Every structure is written in structure tokens, then in C-alpha cells.
Amino acid sequence: MAEELRIGVFVCECGINIAGTVDCDGLTEWAKTLPDVVFAIKNRYTCAEPGQQEIKQYIKEENLNRVVVASCTPRMHEPTFRRCCADAGLNPYLFEMANIREQCSWVHSDRKQATQKAKDIVKIAVAKARLLESQKELEVPVTQAALVVGGGIAGIQSSLDLADAGYQVWLVEKEPTIGGLMSYINKTFPTMD
Ligand code: SF4
């Protein structure tokens, strides 16, 4: 039998960073109407300790099996919220992040339109959350070496930087010489070498 989906949506205001442009109360209420969403709540600062505790608390209390946080870029806090899920006993890959700050509140000034866009972003994240499956993390051995393809200036510099960092490097070039376009230039500014 297919698993019953129980999605929780946590909407972050980020102080006025998001709440200044997006109607977070309206967004939270609206999120409750999305398919398989059984719980939605708004936080002032979701990444702060009380916000994280709330995620863990409601995963348990509401028996959530998918979590969506609508806040900032995943580059900032995806690991934070994945840890919250894991701490509450949920596979961290059953978590999805909706970026309603960098991709919405920070780049729009019209509250009505920004709120509508935030709804679209949350709707997409919830749709993705419905398809998520638990994942296992694997550890695989990695050879401490690098292959750089292309012996132009960028390739040469990358190879030198990698070698300086202590890695063995193979630089591959299809032409008989390295240097790329630089080898066609007879002088370079400002040294005129
Ligand atoms: S989770 Fe992101 S958007 Fe929310 S308070 Fe923290 S930094 Fe701001």
C-alpha cells in the first residue's frame, strides 16, 4: 500500500527580509490547502534555535513524513534543516527547501505580486516533496588526484593551483602545444611580454 503523505510547511519571515514583501500569514494559510499538506506554520526566524525546535516538535506531533521550509537559499540552511529532520527521526532527504527570499522577497517590491510568486515557489516545493524518497548516504574511496582537460591559460593555472595544494595532476591537451589562445598573442598588456 502506498505511504500516506503528511507534508509539513514551515514559512520563515526572516524578520522583515521576507515578511517585508511577502504576506507570510496568507502564504502559510494558503499552503495548508496544497495536496498532502497536513500542517503549516509561520516562524520569525526558522534557522534560530526555537525555529529548529519547532520543526523537530511538529515532525513528531503531527507525524510528518515530508518537510518543506520556505525561507532562504538552500546554500545557507539546507544542511541545518536536514539535521533537524534527522534529529526527529526523519530521513534528511525527505526535506525540501523553497527559496522565497533571494528568489522572491529580495528582488520584488510589489507585495501582492511577491506573495503570488512565493505561493508558486512553495507549490513547486510541495509538489517535489511529494515525490521525494529516502536516501542512504554512501562513502566511496576517492583518488587524491585531478585530471584537467584543456591546456589553455585556465587549464594551466588550475593545474598549478591543484599541484600547489598537493594533488597529483594530469593536464590533457588535444593540440601539440599548450597555451591555448595565448600562444597566438605576441604581446600582452601591461608588461608587453
Ligand atoms: S532560515 Fe534563512 S530566511 Fe529564515 S531566518 Fe534563517 S537566514 Fe533568514
Domain ranges of the chain: 7-129, 145-184
CATH classification (class only), 7-129? alpha beta
Residue nearest to atom 1 of ligand 1 (CA): 47
Centre of ligand 1 to C-alpha 68, Å, is 13
Task: Tell me what percent of the residues of the chain surpass a pLDDT of 90.
Answer: 90
Centre of ligand 1 to C-alpha 51, Å, is 10
Average pLDDT of 63-77?
A: 97
Residue nearest to atom 2 of ligand 1 (CA): 72
C-alpha cell at 39: 500542517
Q: Report angle CA 128, 131, 134 to the nearest 5 degrees.
A: 115
Adjacent-strand bridge partners of 148: 171
C-alpha cell at 59: 515532525
Which tens digits make up the pLDDT trace of 140-159? 999 999 999 999 999 999 99
Q: How confident is the model at residue 189 (pLDDT cuts 50, 70, 90)?
A: confident
Closest CA to 9 of 116, 73, 22, 32: 32
119 has a pLDDT exceeding 80: yes
**pLDDT in the model for residue 172:** 97
Specify the ligand 1 atom closest to the Cα of 101: 3
Across the chain, mean pLDDT equals 96
193 has a pLDDT exceeding 90: no
Task: Please work out whether the CB of residue 77 comes within 6 Å of at least one atom of ligand 1.
Answer: yes
The pick from 45, 81, 103 for probing ligand 1's pocket by mutation, whose C-beta has the most ligand atoms within 8 angstroms, reads 45
- The separation between CA 141 and the C-alpha centre of its own chain, rounded to angstroms, equals 25
Average pLDDT of 50-59?
A: 98
Closest CA to 53 of 31, 74, 83: 83
Please tell me the number of Cα atoms within 13 Å of 44 on its side-chain side.
Answer: 4
- What is the four-CA torsion angle of 12, 16, 21, 23, rounded to 10 degrees? 50
Contact by Cβ (8 Å): 11, 27: yes
Task: Please work out whether the CB of residue 45 comes within 6 Å of at least one atom of ligand 1.
Answer: yes
Which tens digits make up the pLDDT trace of 79-118? 999 999 999 999 999 999 999 999 999 999 999 999 999 9
Task: Please work out whether the CB of residue 42 comes within 6 Å of at least one atom of ligand 1.
Answer: no
Specify the ligand 1 atom closest to the Cα of 45: 5
Adjacent-strand bridge partners of 170: 147
Evaluate the CA torsion angle 93, 95, 99, 101 in order and state its sign: negative
